[in-house]
Structure 1
Amino acid sequence: MLTYSIKEFNQLSLKQLYDVLQLRSEVFVVEQNCVYQDLDGKDSKALHVFGYDEDELVAYTRLFKPGHYFTEASIGRVVVKANYRKFGYGYDVMNTSIDAVKHYYKTNDIRISAQCYLKQFYSNLNFKIEGEEYLEDGIPHVNMLYRG
C-alpha cells in the first residue's frame, strides 16, 4: 500500500521535487526513449499527487484546474515506477487523482491526453475517447474525457 500526499508546487520539498523529476525522466525519457521538454513551466500551476512506498516515490501525477491546461480539469504526467506496475498502483494513483480533482476543483469533468497504448487502462477508469489519434513528442496520443 502506498502513502499518498497532494501538494501545491510551493509546498514541495527539494527532495520531493528531485524525486518527481527523477521518476518522470526515468520513465518518460529513458524507458520510453523519448526526448522531450519535461520541464514545461506548468508544474508551478499544478497540484502534485505523490505515491510513496516508504521513502521511495513510485507513483505520481499532476493535476490542473479547469482552464489551465484544457477547458476541463486535467490529469497529466501519470507515472508509476516500472518494478511497481504489477501491483496495480496505476489505478491507485489515478483514482486518488480523480478524487483530488473532485475535491479541490469541484468538478467531475477531467480531460487527459493519453498515450494510445494506455487507452484500455484509462477506459477501465471510465475515460472515453474523444477525437482522432495525434502525435505528441513522437508518441501516438488520444484525448479522453471522464465525466464522473
Structure 2
Amino acid sequence: MKVETGHPMWLTKLLNKEFLKFIVSGAVNTVVTYLLYLLLYLFMNYSFSYTISYVIGIFLSYYLNTIFVFKEKLKLKKFIKFPVVYLIQYLINMALMFVLVEQLHVSPVVVPILIIVCTIPITFLISKIIIKGK
C-alpha cells in the first residue's frame, strides 16, 4: 500500500477501502440491531433485549463482512470461529453496559451506541483475521 505524502502510515492503513466498507457494514448492522434492541426493550429488560439483538447482529455481521467487506465465500468453518470475537466483545460490552447504566446512570437507550463506538477498531482487526485468515 502506498503511503500518501503528509499522512502517517497508520492513518493511511486505517482509511483503506476494506476499513471504510467495514464501517458501512457496521453502520447497517448497528442500525438493524439497535432498532431491534429498542423494539425488544419495549417488552423486556435491557440485558435480555441487548443479548437477543447482539446474537442476531453476529449473524448479520458475519454475512456482511464476508460478502461485502472482505469479498470472501461464506464458509461454515469461519462462521463457527466468528462468534468467538463477539463472545469476548459481548462480555466486555455487558460489563461496560452495567457500569454505564447502573453506576453512572446513563440511559439504556444510549449505552449500546457508546459501546459500539469504543469497540470498532478491535472488531475490524479480529474479523479480518478470521474471515481472510491473515
TM-score (normalised: structure 2) = 0.29
TM-score (normalised: structure 1) = 0.27
Which structure has the highest helix share of the two?
2
Structure number with higher relative contact order (C-alpha < 8 Å, ≥ 6 residues apart)? 2
Greater Rg by CA: 2
